[in-house]
Amino acid sequence: MPRTILGLESSCDDTAAAILRGREVLSSVVAGQGGLHAAYGGVVPEIAARAHAETLDGVVAEALREADLTLGEVDAIAVTAGPGLIGGVLAGVMMAKGLAAGSGKPLIGVNHLAGHALTPRLTDDLAYPYLMLLVSGGHCQFLIVRGPEDFTRLGGTIDDAPGEAFDKTARLLGLAQPGGPSVETEARHGDASRFAFPRPLLDRPGCDLSFSGLKTAILRQRDALVAAQRGLTRQDRADLCAGFQAAVRDVLSEKTRRALALYRAEHPAQPALAVAGGVAANGSLRAALRDVCADAGVVFTAPPLKLCTDNAAMIAYAGGELMEAGRASDMTLAARPRWPL
Ligand code: KG4
Ligand code: ZN
């Protein structure tokens, strides 16, 4: 029988627990903290840490209940040990250690980014190696994924992550958080050509990206409109969102083309691109990446949305692969705010 693994995730503003049996998701519970941070315009680490500590018990109980299992029937406990907001990561690691000590089950620490990067193997059975574009609220990088601990970074953002840029754009325009879905919704009835947005770093070779200039462009355009007409109309907002989203999409598409060329030079036999992270939920970006892959004769996969954003199923899955590879953690497992792949 395949291993049954309880996964825990608490590195940002979602408290999550999930149970996997092999590649079958028996339960996946995600408790968001959106409302708690809404008044502050961003995730407040102290508030997040306290909420994780208070919520973890409940989400673990809920994940076990939905899977109709007791802790004694679980084979191992996997937990995000970084990177992320240290208070939240600590809360998860302490909870996992307590569960492991209490039940005598093995403990395995998982890198949150590896969780995202391995998700296409959980959902699509994708074979190694593949190219991964990880785009989230905290991260943006191109990775060649060769194994659960074998990653090569081809490039990434030199400043903000794209999700952060979506969130800041929403904030500047008075739209709800998280900004990605709000901006995407507004952009649907907007004209992307009305305002000029830069396409940062396209003039430079390589796969690095930059998003902070786009956020500044939104600020400038907004202020110009406010000065000229004392406020923003619904259409102004939609057009700004559409222009911003088109710029993000164009830059990510072009850099993906370049990353694919580098990847294929090394791995000509198996052309595959997988995308993960919260920004991969963006329909316009997905469609553009699908086109890039179709043009290049490359297989494109994107996990279903609820496994693209932060969740614990991906942590349980990555934990399982690490255990297959003979890895295990013990009670010295440390929470790491930084942990590059
Ligand atoms: O992966 P994730 O859940 O958390 C981490 O950052 O690790 O990603 C959250 C980010 C947020 O910045 C959110 O605005 C963005 O993903 N996001 C989107 C969309 N849905 C979520 N960005 C663009 N378009 C979307 N539809
Ligand atoms: Zn994430």
What's residue 270's pLDDT?
78
Question: Exposed (0-12), middle (13-18) or buried (19+): which is 125, by Cβ within 10 Å?
Answer: exposed
The domain made up of 128-306 is a member of CATH 3.30.420.40: yes
- Outline where 68-199 has alpha helix (H): 86-103, 112-124, 162-172, 179-187
What percent of the residues of the chain are helix, what percent strand, and what percent coil, each to the nearest 5?
Answer: 50, 20, 30
Same CATH topology for 4-117+309-324 and 128-306?
yes
Q: Are 200 and 250 in contact (CB under 8 A)?
A: no
pLDDT digits (tens, 9 = 90+) for 148-188: 999 999 999 999 999 999 999 999 999 998 899 999 999 99
The mean pLDDT of 194-204, rounded to a whole number, is 94
Fold of 4-117+309-324: Nucleotidyltransferase; domain 5 (3.30.420)
* Ligand 2 mean position, distance from CA 139 (Å): 8
Beta bridge partners of residue 199, listed in sequence order:
none
pTM of this structure: 0.92
The mean pLDDT of 130-139, rounded to a whole number, is 93
H or E element: which one contains 292? helix 283-296
What's residue 35's pLDDT?
73
Cβ-Cβ contacts under 8 Å for 221 (sequence gap 6 or more) = 195, 240
User: What ipTM does this complex have?
Assistant: 0.98
Name the closest-CA residue to atom 16, ligand 1: 278
The residue behind tokens 């992307």 is: 192
Residue type (1 letter), 28: S
Domain ranges of the chain: 4-117+309-324, 128-306
Mean pLDDT for the chain?
Answer: 94
pLDDT digits (tens, 9 = 90+) for 250-300: 999 999 999 999 999 999 887 899 999 999 999 999 999 999 999 999 999
Numbered residues of the known binding site: 112, 116, 134-138, 167, 180, 184, 282, 310
198 in helix, strand or coil? coil
pLDDT digits (tens, 9 = 90+) for 298-309: 999 999 988 988
Binding-site residues, ligand 1, Cβ < 6 A = 12, 136-138, 163, 166-167, 178-181, 184, 277-279, 281-282, 309-310
Name the closest-CA residue to atom 10, ligand 1: 137
CB atoms within 10 A of CB 323: 18
Atom of ligand 1 nearest to the CA of 166: 14
310 in helix, strand or coil? coil
188 in helix, strand or coil? coil
